[in-house]
Amino acid sequence: MARTVIPFGPQHPVFPEALQLKLECEDEKVVNAIPAIGYIHRGIEKAAELNAFRNNVFLCERICGICSFMHALCYCQGIEEMMNVEIPPRAKFLRVFWAELSRMHNHLMWLGFLADSMGFESLFMQCWRAREIILDVTEMTTGQRVIYGSCSIGGVRRDIDKEMAQDIEKRLIMAKEMVDSDISPTVFHDPSLKRRTVGKGILTKEQAISLGAAGPVLRASGVPLDTRQTGYAAFKEIGFEPIVETAGDVYARTLVRLREWYQSTEFCLKSLSMMPEGEIATRVVGRPKGEVISRVEQHRGEVFYYIKGNGTNNLERLRVRTPTFANIPPLLVMLRGCELADVPVITLSIDPCIACTER
Amino acid sequence: MPWMLPTVIKNLLSKPATRRYPYVKRPPFPGARGKIQFDMEKCDLCTACARVCPANAIIVDKEAKTIKYDPFACIYCGNCVDACPKDAITMDIYYSPPAPEKSQETMLKE
């Protein structure tokens, strides 16, 4: 049968960013998919070599608007490891709080996008309504809604007092009740949502491992692997168990993310209650020298920083590998053999973040 | 069973979740990071703010005794507020409004 190549993107209603997939189709069936990336390359890695290493925190934060805090955290952890700095315990808990807060808002946003990609607009609106509460907490604690700017080398820049912690707790419980009553029942039971997701875009455990999938995509295929298991920041004290589903389809990825949302709420509340008193930052003197690898579990999977310092104020090299880049090869396998109408849903199920990927 | 229906009915009978922006604006939370303001009485032109600025939005001219601040280059990180030894820089909770043309602010130390 004759094959048709259908360009999917770079501008497409389901994509918040520019990614192109060239879909080779036989009738309505996708036979092969070829990705084309590079539409929003900004040269951040090179810019990081020209900036002072302390100012790179703000640059790294701007790699991606959604995982902003995670990038700053990963960079700061790398520099701290290189310079042998031990940050105060309170700062570790505050870092976990903000990291999990950003995971909460990302997962709700993603669920909204997924609902939008299958035309389920009311669920999309409801997800973004709950997300607004979390963004308010972000603005309350850090001063801005998206770019946190609260992580710095040696600790954090802002503290949360008791009064604010109580207010945050109230708001997080309000968000949880909203998700409990309006979002979860639909995701768990709605037949139209299940029809569009169950059995679509299957990635087996073996494929996930051999293709190097990351994050919820990997865990939805039954591999219990999460960088938070390494116990960075305060995860050692808080304790962490990865959430795993075994089906490996789009619905399993949705469930992993929804369950992770609940887990993140727990972590946020736990980190607020377990936080010890004390300093929030240590003074860091000197300049970084040597090489280091830093890893953090982003919302989409593991983000990896390679940092090389040469004892001057500027870094010699900063290399970032983001989870979406790791998830593109598994996506191409998922797309093979699917219907053309399922392509948006399957593509969104990896939670593509192209700004991260191309930097 | 239509699982979304109770939510849809609840939303239909309740007030809207959104505001009529720009007629109704939600005030920012206290501690929000907005435009920075210089107190030239306190400032001693030490250039600490210009050195830590990640966006090079502050230019201090010691000879002309001026500070040039570009609110359109500023990333509102608050680094300069932390770095100022004289506490001459404060942060407003409102960010600078959009404008048809980019402009710089020049402050002169008497």
pLDDT in tens, A37-67: 888 888 888 888 888 888 888 888 888 888 8
Residue A302 domain boundaries: 47-358
Q: Concatenated DSSP letters for B13-78?
A: HS--SS--TTTS-PPPPTT----EEE-TTT-----HHHHH-TT--EEEETTTTEEEE-TTT-----
Closest Cα in chain A, distance from residue B110 (Å) = 31
Q: Which residue has tokens 């701007």?
A: A62
Number of domains comprising chain A? 1
Give the tens place of pLDDT for each residue, A3-12: 888 888 788 8
Alpha carbon distance A96, A102 (integer Å): 10
Alpha carbon distance A76, A56 (integer Å): 9
Let me know if residue A275 belongs to a domain.
Answer: yes
Q: H or E element: which one contains B90? A: strand B89-91
Question: Is A317:A208 a contact under the CB 8 Å cutoff?
Answer: no
Q: What is the mean pLDDT of chain A?
A: 87
Residue A312 has pLDDT above 60, yes or no: yes
Question: Is A351:A54 a contact under the CB 8 Å cutoff?
Answer: no
Residue in A58, A139, A181 nearest the CB of B54: A58
Let me know if residue A145 belongs to a domain.
Answer: yes
Let me know if residue A4 belongs to a domain.
Answer: no
CATH number at residue A118: 1.10.645.10
Let me know if residue A316 belongs to a domain.
Answer: yes
Candidates B1, B18, B29: best to mutate against A (most CBs of A within 10 A) is: B29
Q: Which residue has tokens 């593991």?
A: A302
CB < 8 Å to A136, chain B: 29
Angle, helices A121-142/A89-117, rounded to nearest 10 degrees: 160
Let me know if residue A278 belongs to a domain.
Answer: yes
Q: What is the residue type of A239? A: G
Q: What is the pLDDT of residue B1?
A: 55
pLDDT band at B55 (very low <50, low <70, confident <90, very high): confident
pLDDT band at A306 (very low <50, low <70, confident <90, very high): very high
Question: Is A142:A150 a contact under the CB 8 Å cutoff?
Answer: yes
Strands A29-36 and A20-26: antiparallel
Give the tens place of pLDDT for each residue, B70-94: 888 888 888 888 888 888 888 888 8
Question: How many Cβ atoms sit within 10 Å of the Cβ of residue A161?
Answer: 8
Question: Is A127:B8 a contact under the CB 8 Å cutoff?
Answer: no
Strands B58-61 and B36-38: unpaired
Let me know if residue A40 belongs to a domain.
Answer: no
Nearest to A117 by CA among A342, A335, A322, A350: A342
Question: How many Cβ atoms sit within 10 Å of the Cβ of residue B30?
Answer: 8
Alpha carbon distance A94, A151 (integer Å): 9
Let me know if residue A297 belongs to a domain.
Answer: yes
Give Cα separations from B79 to A99, A241, A289, B8, B94 (angstroms). Answer: 21, 37, 24, 45, 17
Cβ contact A126–B7 (<8 Å):
yes
Question: Is A312:A301 a contact under the CB 8 Å cutoff?
Answer: no
Alpha carbon distance A325, A315 (integer Å): 24
Residue in B4, B52, B76 nearest the CB of A123: B4
Cβ contact B17–A132 (<8 Å):
yes
Let me know if residue A100 belongs to a domain.
Answer: yes
* Mean pLDDT across B3-21: 85
Cβ contact B79–A58 (<8 Å):
yes
* Mean pLDDT across A335-347: 87
**Contact residues, chain B to chain A, C-beta under 8 Å:** 1-4, 7-8, 11, 17, 28-29, 31-33, 52, 54, 75-79, 82
Give the tens place of pLDDT for each residue, B25-52: 888 888 888 888 888 888 888 888 888 8
Alpha carbon distance A175, A128 (integer Å): 11
Nearest to A238 by CA among A218, A258, A264: A264
Cβ contact A54–B28 (<8 Å):
no
Residue A230 has pLDDT above 80, yes or no: yes
Residue A330 has pLDDT above 60, yes or no: yes
Residue A143 touches partner B, C-beta closer than 8 Å: yes
Q: What is the mean pLDDT of chain B?
A: 84
Alpha carbon distance B62, A60 (integer Å): 32
Q: What is the residue type of A42? A: R
Alpha carbon distance A144, A170 (integer Å): 20
Q: What is the pLDDT of residue B11?
A: 84
Residue A293 has pLDDT above 70, yes or no: yes
pLDDT exceeding 90 applies to what percent of chain A?
6
Q: What is the pLDDT of residue A210?
A: 92
Alpha carbon distance B105, B52 (integer Å): 19
Residue A167 touches partner B, C-beta closer than 8 Å: no
